[in-house]
Amino acid sequence: MSNILKDYKNNVTADSGNACKYAQNLMNSYGTIYRNGACRATNPDDGQWYGCESGREYTNAQFRHCQHSTKC
């Protein structure tokens, strides 16, 4: 996960005009990690949503204008 976050930070620093795209990529990546990790034993869809939403909250705090275009 640390590489995903590092890539996100590098991308938004270098190209903030595409912050919403990078935010969605981070959210999708977190969702996949949670879907395929230990959470899948209980409910993979819920795990994916939780991972995605955690990424969404993180990115929306930085780029509020993305909250209307990023979706889990």
The number of distinct structural domains making up the chain is 1
Instruction: Compute the Cα dihedral for 22, 12, 57, 40 and give only its sign.
Output: positive
State if pTM tops 0.75: yes
Q: How many CA atoms lie within 13 A of 54 on its CB side?
A: 13
DSSP letter string, 25-47: HHHHHHHHHHHHSGGGGT-HHHH
Average confidence (pLDDT) over 30-44: 87
Range of 58's domain? 2-10+19-68
| pLDDT tens sequence across 2-27 | 899 999 999 999 999 999 999 999 99
> H or E segment at 49?
helix 44-62
pLDDT of residue 5: 97
| pLDDT tens sequence across 38-57 | 877 788 999 999 999 999 99
63, amino acid identity = F
Token pair belonging to 30: 């977190």
